[in-house]
């Protein structure tokens, strides 16, 4: 028996010899046919036997004819469900049953019945798949009830679809993957203010000043924020205590975020998520990741990303969701200027880290609904400083922007609300003039205002679509599709139907068995049952459950004419 740890379900089934089992079911039919043929020969012997009580004649000579039987058809069906849990115990089971119905002649009456069965648990959640086109305007019908997505952008409509579906009892979770789009995107605007990638356009400026202080030495240092604000600090017990001391000393008209140096396996920054989602929870979270992205882009630091989940829902759903959370952060960092070559995305373990921490199945824990962002090559502390209201960052000191070591400002982003109306962004050959008009609560020439207008212009075309993530615009073709995975643990049947750009590519799985019976004056029934069960105790748990069905029809046929004639000739020769 193989070590199932790390194998795919298909590999597990192959190792469990399921194909061999199905073959044996079919061979059972063949062996039954052989017995019927042997019985036919024995019947012929009985029908040709000369009997004294019949006047030294045989039944055949009296006109009686034996009936031979054979299977007209036989259908074999197998339905399986697989559960594999690493770190617990190993359990494998399989069962099957078969019913064979028969008639001697075409039946004068018949009865048929059909049943469907479905099963699901927290672990053995069933899965359905959809494709959602970026310009989709259709609906999803679930068991006869329409679910109508709302919103002007693809992500907004998908968020609406998620909220409505997971509010039902028949769908437990929805995870979607954005299209892997690569477009021709460029701009003639200054690259310090507008950054383009093959998937996005980002406006990388802010109406508030932002600075980045590196803290490498546990030493008394005076930090000049502007002409009227100097922060005096003193050495502490260690570098960590000193960094926290510096942060606490910054006046309240500045907001700060402290990023400790890398320590193996520990998070240095985490983007938290709501249950079942892989998008920003709030504008504050979006701003925090934006500021970190600018720091990473400016310093060229290497980045390691790992998405994860708590233990709510099925393990396969959490693995997919953890992957999407990591991908979401990766693409947002790239959009804001972080070099893709400096980003390492660790394969998600889904709920694996939560399980390692002994969280219980089904437990909601915000600590694990996160993407960790680590900077493994960094040994100093970072303190990002953002001005509020009328506060400014100007004439800062110590100023290490030109190089140097120790404690001080390594980067400074001054407030900016530039007029970019003379510039444009070109997407797939279509030019879009940049518009910074005040809109939706954003001030004129704010980065978010430019993003709002650009996304609206892209969505007004017939060939392109866009999403806004603050000052970042995700761009795709109108025909690009999101992959959607739905998960359900209900035992009830769930039927899905999509329209106008929303296509159901895989329904929730179910097993179906069919039984048929034909009757006449005389009939024969043959039942076959097979059960296989195999278990091993290890550090992981695997179970295969399901049902199998053989449906067959037994038909009566007369003996071949040549066969009968030969037997009769032999009897005549014997009498002569």
CA distance 442 to 453: 11
CA distance 380 to 239: 9
How many alpha carbons fall within 13 Å on the CB side of residue 177? 18
b/e per residue 549-560 (b: at least 16 CB within 10 A): bbbbbbbbeebe
CA distance 78 to 511: 9
Beta bridge partners of 431: 426
Question: Do residues 383 and 215 lie in contact, with contact meaning Cβ atoms separated by under 8 Å?
Answer: yes
In 3-state terms, what secondary structure has residue 489?
Answer: coil
Q: What are phi and psi of 276, to 5 degrees?
A: 75, 10
Question: What own/partner pairs with CB < 8 Å and gap ≥ 24 does 416-420 have?
Answer: 416/193, 416/205, 416/206, 416/207, 417/205, 417/207, 417/443, 417/444, 417/445, 417/446, 418/193, 418/205, 418/445, 419/445, 420/189, 420/193, 420/194, 420/445, 420/450
Element (H, E) at 46: helix 18-48
Beta bridge partners of 93: 533
What's the pLDDT score for residue 551? 67
Q: Which residues of the chain have pLDDT under 70?
A: 1-22, 25, 71-124, 264-268, 510-552, 576
Question: Do residues 333 and 343 lie in contact, with contact meaning Cβ atoms separated by under 8 Å?
Answer: yes
pTM of the predicted model as reported, rounded to 2 decimal places: 0.68
Place of tokens 């400014």: 392
Question: Do residues 215 and 408 lie in contact, with contact meaning Cβ atoms separated by under 8 Å?
Answer: no
* 443-465 residue pLDDT tens: 999 999 999 999 999 999 999 99
Question: Do residues 64 and 47 lie in contact, with contact meaning Cβ atoms separated by under 8 Å?
Answer: yes
Which pair of tokens denotes residue 336?
């804001």
In 3-state terms, what secondary structure has residue 338?
Answer: coil
What's the pLDDT score for residue 110? 36
What's the pLDDT score for residue 12? 59
b/e per residue 37-51 (b: at least 16 CB within 10 A): eeebeebbeebbeee
Nearest to 324 by CA among 170, 483, 167: 483
What's the pLDDT score for residue 355? 94
Total length of the chain: 576
Nearest to 175 by CA among 316, 37, 10, 304: 316
b/e per residue 220-249 (b: at least 16 CB within 10 A): ebebbbeeebebebeebeebeebbbbbbee
What's the pLDDT score for residue 35? 81
CA distance 348 to 371: 10
Nearest to 66 by CA among 567, 571, 430, 569: 567
What's the pLDDT score for residue 565? 76
What's the pLDDT score for residue 252? 93
b/e per residue 506-529 (b: at least 16 CB within 10 A): ebbebbebeeebbeeeeeeebebe
What's the pLDDT score for residue 521? 42
Q: What is the dihedral angle through the alpha carbons of 180, 185, 190, 193, rounded to the nearest 10 degrees?
A: -30
* 298-339 residue pLDDT tens: 889 999 999 999 999 999 999 999 999 999 999 999 999 999
């Amino acid at each position: 028996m193989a070590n199932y740890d790390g194998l795919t379900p298909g590999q597990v089934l192959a190792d469990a010899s399921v194909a061999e089992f199905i073959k044996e079911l079919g061979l059972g039919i063949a062996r039954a046919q052989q017995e019927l043929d042997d019985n036919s020969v024995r019947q012929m012997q009985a029908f040709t036997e000369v009997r004294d009580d019949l006047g030294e004649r045989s039944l055949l000579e009296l006109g009686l004819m034996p009936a031979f039987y054979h299977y007209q058809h036989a259908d074999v069906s197998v339905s399986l469900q697989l559960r594999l849990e690493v770190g617990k115990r190993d359990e494998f089971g399989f069962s099957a049953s078969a019913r064979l119905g028969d008639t001697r002649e075409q039946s004068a009456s018949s009865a048929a019945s059909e049943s469907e069965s479905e099963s699901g648990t927290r672990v053995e959640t069933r899965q359905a798949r959809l494709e959602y086109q970026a310009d989709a305007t259709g609906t999803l019908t679930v068991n006869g009830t329409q679910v109508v997505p709302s919103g002007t952008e693809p992500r907004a409509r998908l968020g609406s679809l998620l909220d409505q579906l997971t509010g039902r009892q028949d769908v437990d979770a929805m995870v979607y993957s954005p299209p892997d789009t690569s477009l021709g995107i460029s701009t003639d605007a200054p690259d310090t203010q507008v950054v383009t990638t093959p998937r996005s356009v980002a406006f990388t400026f802010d109406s508030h000043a932002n600075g980045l202080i590196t803290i490498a030495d546990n030493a008394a240092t005076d930090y000049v924020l502007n002409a009227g604000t100097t922060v005096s600090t003193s050495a502490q017990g260690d570098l960590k205590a000193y960094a926290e001391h510096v942060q606490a000393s910054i006046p309240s008209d500045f907001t700060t975020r402290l990023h400790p140096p890398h320590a193996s396996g520990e998070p240095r920054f985490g983007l938290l998520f709501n249950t079942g989602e892989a998008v920003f929870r709030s504008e504050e979270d979006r701003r925090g990741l934006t500021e970190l992205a600018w720091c990473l882009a400016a310093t060229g630091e290497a980045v390691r990303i790992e998405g994860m989940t708590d233990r709510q829902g099925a393990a396969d759903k959490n693995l997919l969701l953890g992957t999407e959370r990591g991908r979401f952060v990766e693409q947002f960092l790239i959009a804001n200027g972080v070099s893709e070559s400096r980003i390492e995305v660790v394969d998600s373990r889904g709920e694996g880290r939560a399980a390692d921490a002994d969280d219980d199945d089904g437990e909601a824990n915000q600590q694990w609904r996160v993407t960790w962002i680590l900077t493994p090559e960094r040994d100093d502390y970072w303190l990002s400083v953002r001005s509020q209201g009328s506060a400014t960052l100007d004439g800062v000191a110590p100023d290490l922007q030109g190089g140097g070591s120790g404690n001080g400002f390594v980067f400074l982003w001054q407030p900016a609300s530039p007029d970019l109306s003379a510039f444009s962004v070109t997407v797939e050959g279509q030019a879009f003039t940049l518009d910074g008009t005040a809109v939706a609560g954003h001030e004129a020439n704010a980065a978010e205002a430019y993003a709002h207008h650009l996304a609206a212009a892209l969505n007004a075309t017939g060939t392109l679509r866009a999403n806004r993530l603050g000052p970042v615009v995700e761009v795709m073709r109108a025909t690009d599709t999101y992959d959607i995975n739905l998960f359900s643990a209900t035992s009830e049947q769930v039927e899905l139907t999509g329209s106008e750009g929303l296509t159901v590519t895989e329904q929730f799985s179910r097993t179906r068995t069919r039984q048929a019976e034909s009757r006449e004056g005389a009939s024969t029934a043959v039942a076959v049952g097979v059960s296989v069960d195999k278990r091993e105790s290890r550090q992981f748990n695997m179970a295969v459950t399901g049902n199998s069905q053989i449906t067959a029809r037994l038909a009566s046929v007369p003996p071949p004419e040549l066969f009968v004639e030969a037997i009769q000739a032999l009897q005549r020769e014997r009498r002569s």
